[in-house]
Amino acid sequence: MAERTDEQHAEKMKKKQAAHDRIMAGKTVEKGLLIVNTGKGKGKTTAALGMVVRMIGHGRKVGVVQFVKGAMTTGEKAVFDAFPDNVEFKAMGEGFTWNTQDRARDIALAREAWDEVKRMVADPAYDMVLADELNIVLRYDYLPLEEVLEVLTARAEMKHVVVTGRNAPQGLIDTADLVTEMTLVKHPFREQGVKAQTGIEF
């Protein structure tokens, strides 16, 4: 692109803007979205957190249910605590399932967390509900996918729901409005022996 003159650049940018404007003019629908962040890469939960922060910043109310990270001390918790009217944070899981080795208990915990999600989805006070790591619970068949899809599909028109976790089931992807796959290109854990660090992983 270095050979392009300033005039050529201005011309190209003008076309780009016109194309952008044309596309945006067709975007008029406003609706609550079912958003899924999946994939083996990083950023599924952190991107959801970013959306929670944006909602908070706009004075909206968000409900957050963590399905499997309850045992972790998270930095986000401290920030949420500064906005008690805007965020309700429920850390339900007690560590990852491979730490418990008790399926009956895991299923009971998943059900308990799901009841919280259902309550928040049904309550008009919440503009967004984040079901963090729900995909993992679905992956292990701790909750029936049909029930989850039924509740999410029946939600109020303007309510956003965000679901995270690797291995999102196909039925959820089919039902969702916005699906992003986080793909690992390079990871310091694997390649450099770097451990989980403050602010990055928790």
Q: Which of residues 14-53 bind its own copies (CB under 8 A)?
A: 14, 16-17, 20, 23-24, 26-31, 33, 35-39, 41-43, 45-51, 53
State in angstroms the smallest separation of the CB of 190 from its own copies: 9
**Helix pair 103-122, 145-153: axis angle to 10 deg:** 10
Q: Which of 22, 58, 146, 157 binds its own copies (CB under 8 A)?
A: 58
Question: Which amino acid is present at 136?
Answer: I
- 115: which residues sit within 8 A by CB, 6+ positions away? none
Query: Judged by CB under 8 A, does residue 156 bind its own copies?
Result: no
**Given the rule CB under 8 A, which of 111-119, 129-137, 149-157, 187-195 is the region that contacts its own copies?**
187-195
- Least distance from its own copies to the Cβ atom of residue 78, Å: 4
Structure-derived torsion over alpha carbons of residues 119, 123, 125, 130, reported in degrees to the nearest 10 = 40
Token output for 77: 């918790």
DSSP-assigned beta bridge partners for residue 19:
none
Q: Which stretch binds its own copies (CB under 8 A): 63-71, 117-125, 149-157, 193-201?
A: 193-201
Would you count residue 74 as binding its own copies (CB under 8 A)?
yes
Residues 92 to 151 in contact with its own copies, rule: CB under 8 A: 96-104, 127-128, 140-141
Which residue carries 């949420």 as its tokens?
80
The answer to whether the beta carbons of residues 131 and 161 sit under 8 Å apart is yes
The closest alpha carbon to 76, from 113, 130, 122, 125, belongs to 130
CB of 186 to its own copies, least distance (A): 4
CB of 171 to its own copies, least distance (A): 13
Cα gap 163→68, rounded to integer Å: 13
118 vs 140, beta carbon nearer its own copies: 140
Residue 186 interacting with its own copies (CB under 8 A):
yes
